[in-house]
């Protein structure tokens, strides 16, 4: 036989394009269209329905960026048409590409009930079965601009309605009744699957030949001039091709209906609220027509929005949740970043998220669902298991530039040894359309084949929402058991995880962080957002501490509702495109506003609680929110500050530099304004590497290959401009009223200016560095380098409830790819017997490299990424003035690094009152830290104390309750009892390395109104 397969396929493509696709909707009848343009922000249906609507001409150009327009569609069903075979097309001006990144709409019936959404690849609206001849619908259309464009990452003003312009973006397309030929549509779905499979099969395979000839027979049978009359016969002709079963050894895919909706990204949160309604409405409409369909959605915040803004739709969702078809997953308040939030924040993501799902929807989630976050902290497994979860899912690691994890299904082991069963979908997407190409990629790509047989594929349009479509469900139905493809079953994630864990209980282990070899710039972009998060976290700790102490000591009401609102706002702002700095200007403008409001609200709570504790008076006191003594005051207590040590001194060097000394630490600043020597009195050892400095500023070119706000590419290191080439603009020393000495170094570069304030306080073991940066650069990266005279093979960088060791060499591709890493409040660089701690108050991006040492050996250079200037998606990211703080402590161990991190981030608060106030607990340990004191989330009045082992070794701790406690027990991280009772007055615990322990104390009764003195 002559090989004419390419001709058959060309014939098939043209027939599909020119004959079959038009036959699906053979007749069109226009509807009357009227509109009302919303003047500003979106309004609810009840307000929009009563407005005056204007006639809308065909092809009307409408919609300035970020505006909303309501369309009223009305008409009479054409004579002879039935609702069962009619639907409405509503083209608001869609383009086929990038669903979820452009105009979208939500259709309402006249009574205000929601029908479904219209979107670029789903702009049909069904008619109700009992619809009469006359129809009226309202469509709320959102003129969201396509900020992404062609993904060129060019600067755009579209990311904020303040700069996006007034011109219209969209032109209306066809809006009207269409008669739907169901048989033609089903034939189209048959052909899509078979032709897609044909493109993936080896051309010399029997199955390839069989499909070609079967499709050829179908083309001979169907009449292109009368598709409607011959479509059924055409389907019969190719039915055997679709009935041939999959091979017995075929891979099994659990397909989960899904729509990853970014809680903010290239749109603000106000638009996400509407995206959730549109996507959930689509899912509910599919459930009505497809009994097998199951839809999974994460993020309690998004359900909470739905309940607040669309309560009727939320009620419908809740019904389907109870039926097991609408499946809440993830258990978190949002799909957060996991690199930068503090440990307590990660716990609260689950505490608030799981509480909402349990109380409002009646479900207990067991899987963590983070398909798109930018890498995963090594502390997560313990937090995941401690909050009642069994499984973990992500796919983002498939984006790594260099190395791929060797497994798709495995046990992930955290820093404390806890393991969680984990799956990375080998489909390499959370937006699958279930095409044969995607299904076969999943099967071929599965790294655990042979030992395991099953993987999970999330399908549906995501990022901007939309979710699954009827075409995807048709593809799933045809791929259920089809020769040449893996078997596909639509089910909930629980089905996959239960089966996979049972089949592969001895799966391999991946230990440590799951580092994404991409998006390393997210540790630095949008500094104000990151500073707001760090400060909000610490204020929440402090507000809970003093509120709990006041509640127990004085009976002051605990502000449950206020704290809950603040936490949930902060948790939202930790979403993986907000905290990482990868959203549009509008999002970050609102984040900065929200953090400022949270600061003010929490400050009111703190002031109120502290006032209740210390009473009215004029005595100067210090409230110490740290878990360590500070300013002469016990941890978590309010006391009288200790007398300060002898004042620091300074003198001018002959070269114009300065020497600063406080008897504990001696720093030398040369004429260039560089700290070239830092020696502590105890060891007498030099901390600064020979020929180096402890405060070098270097300006790097920062032009990533793509993904501006997300990426720092390693070539930035090859273009560096030191800012210390000459003398600074000024170099002065100032003695403070508290006996401290501050050296002020000012430099200008480009269009920017930086002032370094180097402060040595009386008796302080650390040199504090405050940087005020007036930043006006473009695509530049400013780094602070600390040259440390330490021979370090690894660094220790703080993460949630512990730290992670990272090597300083690049022996392998894995190590070379980790050229920028995330740290929380400190990094420790050490060798046996000596180390240096570098703490910060808002910096996350770091690098550490070994450097040849003059005279032999090597030293270590720690780099801190202070600020960036990406152009996309926010063209003015980080412009303006910023202030950051860093502390350098020589002769430091891990416990000193921990202490410096707390000192910079939880500073003592000066207060005035009548008397001191004792802490609720005395915690005695070398390495176990009391992280959190609060009242229990269930509003029982019980007191929660959270501790963790901080050094990475076995830790012993003695905890004494300094109030009358009637009982004490250990709980999980959600404060639920584990059955492990403890001594209520004095508990002694042994913790494994990095273990987190939560203790719950039941107060016997409130104490006297006057607080005990510390």
Which residues are tagged catalytic?
Answer: 372
Cα separation, 391 vs 379, whole angstroms: 15
CB 14 within 8 A of CB 219: no
Kindly provide the b/e burial profile for residues 549-575, where b requires at least 16 CB atoms within 10 angstroms of the residue's own CB: bbbbbbebebbeeebeebbbbbbbbbb
Report the half-sphere exposure of 458 (CA within 13 A, side-chain side). Answer: 31
Q: Which residues contact 149 (CB under 8 A, 6 or more apart)?
A: 156
CB 673 within 8 A of CB 758: no
Strand ranges in 91-246 using DSSP code E only, listed in sequence order: 104-108, 114-118, 124-126, 134-143, 168-171, 175-179
Helix, coil or strand: residue 70: strand
The helix/strand/coil state of 517 is coil
Q: What's the CA angle centered on 327, arms 323 and 332, to 5 degrees? A: 140
**Residue 371 and residue 394 in contact, taking contact as beta carbons nearer than 8 Å:** yes
CB 558 within 8 A of CB 883: no
The DSSP result for 637-692, as a single string, is: -EEPPPPP-PPPEEEE-TTS-EEEE-SSEEEEE-TTS-EEEEEETTT--B-BPTT-
Query: What residues contact 220, with CB distance under 8 A and at least 6 apart?
Result: none
Q: Is the dihedral of CA 973, 974, 979, 981 positive or negative?
A: positive
Query: What is the enclosing helix (H) or strand (E) of 504?
Result: none
CB atoms within 10 A of CB 245: 11
Q: How far apart are CA 127 and CA 115, in angstroms?
A: 9
Q: DSSP string covering 158-175, please? A: GGSTTTS-SSEEEE---E
Tell which residue, 331, 342, 625, 706, has the closest CA to residue 493.
331
Residue 250: phi, psi to the nearest 5?
-60, 145
Q: What is the SS3 string spanning 828-857?
A: EEEECCEEEEEEECCCCEEEEEEEECCCCC
CA–CA distance, 804 with 822 (Å, rounded to integer): 10
Q: Are 103 and 142 in contact (CB under 8 A)?
A: yes
**Which distant-in-sequence residues (6+ apart) come within 8 Å of 154 by Cβ?**
871, 872
CA distances from 797 to 824, 858, 888, 961 (A): 7, 20, 15, 32
Q: Is 352 exposed, middle or buried (0-12, 13-18, 19+ CB in 10 A)?
A: buried
Q: Are strands 921-924 and 955-961 parallel, antiparallel or unpaired?
A: antiparallel
What whole-number distance in Å separates Cα of residue 109 and Cα of residue 313?
13
Token pair listed for 606: 């703190």
Partners of 650 in beta bridges: 660
Cβ atoms of residues 56 and 33 within 8 Å: yes
Whether cis (ω within 30° of 0) applies to the bond prior to 873 is: yes
Element (H, E) at 600: helix 585-614
Task: State how beta strands 658-661 and 649-652 pair.
Answer: antiparallel
Asked if 937 and 344 touch (Cβ cutoff 8 Å), the reply is no
């Amino acid at each position: 036989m002559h090989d004419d397969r390419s001709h058959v396929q060309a014939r098939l493509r043209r027939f599909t394009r020119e004959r079959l696709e038009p036959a699906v909707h053979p007749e069109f009848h226009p509807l009357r269209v009227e509109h009302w343009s919303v003047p500003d922000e979106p309004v609810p249906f009840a307000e929009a329905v009563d407005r005056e609507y204007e006639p809308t001409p065909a092809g009307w150009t409408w919609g300035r960026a970020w505006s909303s327009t309501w369309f009223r569609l009305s008409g009479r069903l054409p004579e002879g048409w039935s609702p069962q075979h009619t639907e409405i097309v509503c083209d608001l001006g869609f383009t086929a590409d990038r669903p979820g990144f452009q105009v979208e709409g939500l259709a309402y019936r006249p009574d205000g009930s929601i029908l479904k959404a219209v979107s670029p690849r789903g702009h049909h609206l069904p008619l109700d079965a009992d619809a009469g001849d006359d129809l009226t619908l309202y469509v709320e259309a959102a003129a969201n601009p396509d900020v992404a464009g062609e993904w060129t990452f060019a600067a755009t003003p579209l990311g904020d309605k303040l700069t996006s312009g007034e011109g219209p973006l969209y032109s209306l397309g066809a809006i009207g009744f269409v008669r739907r030929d169901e048989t033609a549509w089903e034939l189209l779905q048959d052909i899509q699957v078979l032709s897609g499979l044909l493109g993936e099969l080896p051309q010399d395979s029997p199955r390839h030949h069989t499909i070609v000839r079967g499709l050829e027979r179908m083309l001979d049978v169907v009449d292109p001039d009368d598709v409607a009359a011959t479509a059924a016969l055409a389907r019969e002709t190719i039915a055997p091709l679709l009935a041939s079963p999959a091979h017995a050894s075929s891979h099994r895919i659990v397909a989960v209906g899904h729509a990853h909706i970014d809680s903010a990204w290239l749109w603000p949160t106000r638009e996400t609220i509407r995206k959730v309604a549109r996507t959930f409405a689509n899912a509910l409409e599919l459930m009505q027509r497809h009994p097998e369909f199951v839809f999974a959605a994460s993020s309690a915040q998004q359900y909470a929005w739905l309940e607040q803004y669309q309560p009727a739709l939320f009620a419908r969702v809740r019904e389907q949740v109870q039926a097991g078809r609408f499946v809440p997953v993830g258990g978190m308040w949002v799909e957060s970043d996991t690199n930068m939030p503090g440990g307590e924040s990660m716990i609260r993501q689950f505490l608030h998220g799981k509480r909402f799902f349990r109380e409002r929807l009646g479900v207990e989630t067991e899987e963590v669902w983070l398909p798109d976050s930018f890498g995963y902290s090594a502390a997560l497994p313990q937090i995941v298991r401690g909050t009642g979860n069994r499984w973990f899912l992500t796919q983002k690691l498939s984006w790594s530039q260099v190395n791929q994890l060797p497994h798709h299904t495995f046990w992930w082991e955290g820093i404390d040894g806890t393991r969680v069963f984990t799956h990375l979908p080998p489909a390499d997407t959370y937006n699958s359309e279930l095409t044969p190409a995607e299904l076969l990629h999943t099967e071929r790509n599965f790294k655990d084949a042979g030992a395991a047989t099953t993987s999970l594929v999330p399908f549906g349009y995501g990022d901007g929402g939309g979710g699954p479509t009827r075409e995807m469900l048709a593809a799933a139905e045809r791929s259920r058991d089809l020769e040449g493809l893996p078997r596909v079953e639509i089910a909930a994630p629980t089905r996959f995880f239960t089966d996979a864990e049972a089949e592969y209980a001895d799966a391999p282990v991946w230990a440590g962080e799951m580092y994404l070899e991409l998006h390393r710039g997210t540790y630095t972009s949008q500094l104000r957002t990151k500073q707001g998060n760090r400060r909000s976290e610490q204020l929440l700790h402090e507000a809970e501490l003093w509120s709990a102490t006041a509640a127990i000591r004085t009976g002051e009401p605990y502000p449950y509702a206020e704290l809950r609102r603040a936490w949930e706002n902060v948790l939202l702002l930790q979403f993986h495109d907000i905290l990482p700095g990868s959203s549009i200007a509008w999002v970050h403008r609102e984040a900065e506003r929200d953090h400022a409001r949270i600061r003010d609200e929490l400050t009111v709570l703190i002031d109120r609680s502290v006032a209740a504790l210390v009473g009215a008076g004029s005595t100067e006191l210090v409230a110490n929110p740290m878990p360590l003594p500070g300013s002469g005051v016990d941890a978590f207590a309010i006391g009288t500050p200790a007398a300060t040590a002898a004042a620091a001194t300074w003198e001018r060097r002959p070269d114009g530099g300065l020497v600063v000394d406080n008897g504990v630490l001696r720093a030398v600043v040369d004429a260039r304004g560089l700290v070239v020597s830092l020696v502590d009195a105890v060891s007498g050892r030099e901390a600064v590497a020979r020929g180096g400095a402890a405060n070098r500023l270097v300006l790097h070119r920062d032009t990533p290959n793509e993904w501006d706000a997300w990426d720092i590419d390693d070539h930035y290191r090859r273009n560096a401009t030191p800012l210390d080439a000459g003398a600074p603009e000024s170099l002065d020393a100032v003695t403070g009223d508290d006996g401290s000495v501050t050296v002020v170094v000012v430099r200008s570069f480009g269009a920017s200016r930086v002032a370094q304030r180097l402060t040595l306080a009386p008796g302080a073991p650390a040199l504090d560095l405050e940087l005020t940066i007036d930043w006006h650069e473009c695509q530049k990266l400013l780094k602070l380098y600390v040259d440390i005279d330490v021979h370090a093979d690894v660094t220790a960088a703080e993460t949630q409830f512990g730290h992670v060791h990272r090597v300083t060499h690049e022996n392998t591709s894995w190590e070379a790819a980790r050229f920028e890493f995330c740290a929380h409040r400190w990094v420790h660089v050490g060798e046996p017997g000596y180390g240096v701690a570098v703490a910060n108050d808002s910096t996350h991006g770091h690098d550490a490299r070994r450097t040849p040492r003059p005279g032999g050996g090597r030293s270590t250079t720690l780099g801190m990424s202070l600020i960036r200037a990406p152009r996309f998606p926010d063209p003015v990211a980080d412009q303006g003035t910023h202030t950051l703080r860093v502390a350098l402590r020589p002769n430091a161990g891990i416990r000193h690094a921990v202490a410096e991190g707390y000192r910079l981030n939880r500073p003592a608060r000066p207060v005035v009152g009548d008397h001191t106030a004792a802490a609720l607990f005395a915690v005695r340990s070398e390495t176990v830290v009391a992280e959190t004191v609060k009242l229990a989330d269930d509003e029982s009045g019980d007191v929660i104390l959270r501790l963790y082992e901080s050094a990475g070794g076995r830790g012993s701790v003695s905890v004494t309750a300094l109030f009358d406690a009637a009982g004490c027990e250990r709980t999980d991280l959600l404060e639920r009892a584990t059955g492990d009772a403890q001594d209520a007055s004095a508990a002694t615990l042994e913790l494994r390395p990095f273990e987190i322990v939560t203790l719950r104390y039941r107060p016997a009764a409130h104490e006297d109104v006057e607080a005990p003195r510390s």
